[in-house]
Amino acid sequence: MVSKFAASCKYRMLRKAMNKRIKPGDPYSEIDHDHFWSKVHKTDGCWLWTAGKFSTGYGQCHVRLWPMYAHRISWMISNQRNIPYGLFVLHRCDNPPCVNPDHLFLGTQLDNRRDSVAKGRTAKGERHGTRTKPESVHRGDNHIFRLHPERHARGQNTPRCKLTETIVREIRCKHETGTISCAQLGRDYGVTKQSILALIHRRTWSYI
């Protein structure tokens, strides 16, 4: 059993580690310029980030143990200020690991999307995934619920279901007689009036 003293020490260590990972409110003031540029390979065109990268290919650099995009840090160093709130650092060269300040410019999310469309980087038409890899599109008889119906929990197989298929058929038969209201059916079976209306109009339990 862990003692209270050991538990309190572990808690303080965790808090200390988390405090170091607090996202810096003023990242520019905490950037180590020399360390940053030591990770950059400069060429006549793009300046390539040689250290760690995100899965998207953009350079990854840590400021106060917080991961940040390397090209954003490069922009801050070259402009000697933080990036204005709500703006993005975009690439003119479309090369994710590039941190050359001459290849970077500020823009909004809309500017980023327009730039992507203008340079043909969006997947559309014959380059769309449904055209290039039609086998990955699961439709009709190839849908996952058609191939493996046991994986699709519906009706009385759902965890919070209050009714069964037999009861649903019984409710519909009683409603067709016109002698009992939906509100009364709901009270009799322990569900709301809206649930009764939904199953009667087959918005739910449509497969029965």
pLDDT for position 129: 79
Cα distances (angstroms) measured from residue 61 to each of 32, 55, 72, 78, 155: 11, 13, 10, 16, 50
Cα–Cα distance, 138 to 128 (Å, whole number): 15
User: Is residue 20 very low, low, confident or very high in pLDDT (cuts 50, 70, 90)?
Assistant: very low
pLDDT in tens, 84-140: 888 999 999 989 999 999 999 999 999 988 988 888 777 777 877 778 888 777 777
- The stretch 161-176 carries a mean pLDDT of 91
pLDDT band for position 69 (cuts 50, 70, 90): very high
CATH code for 20-122?
3.90.75
Residue showing tokens 């038969």: 173
On the CB side of 40, CA atoms within 13 Å amount to 22
Give me the pLDDT at residue 21, please: 44
Over residues 148-165, the mean pLDDT reads 80
Q: Of 47 and 157, which is predicted with more confidence?
A: 47
CATH 3.90.75 segments of the chain: 20-122
Which pLDDT value is given to residue 41? 94
At residue 154 the predicted structure's pLDDT band, cuts being 50, 70 and 90, is confident
Give the per-residue pLDDT at 22: 43
User: What pLDDT sits at residue 200?
Assistant: 93
pLDDT digit string (tens) for 31-50? 888 889 999 999 999 999 99
Longest dimension (CA), the chain: 85
Residues β-bridged to residue 59: 53
Asked which of 20-29, 105-114, 192-201 is least confident by mean pLDDT, the reply is: 20-29
Closest CA to 102 of 78, 84, 81, 121: 78
Q: What global pTM score does this model have? A: 0.54
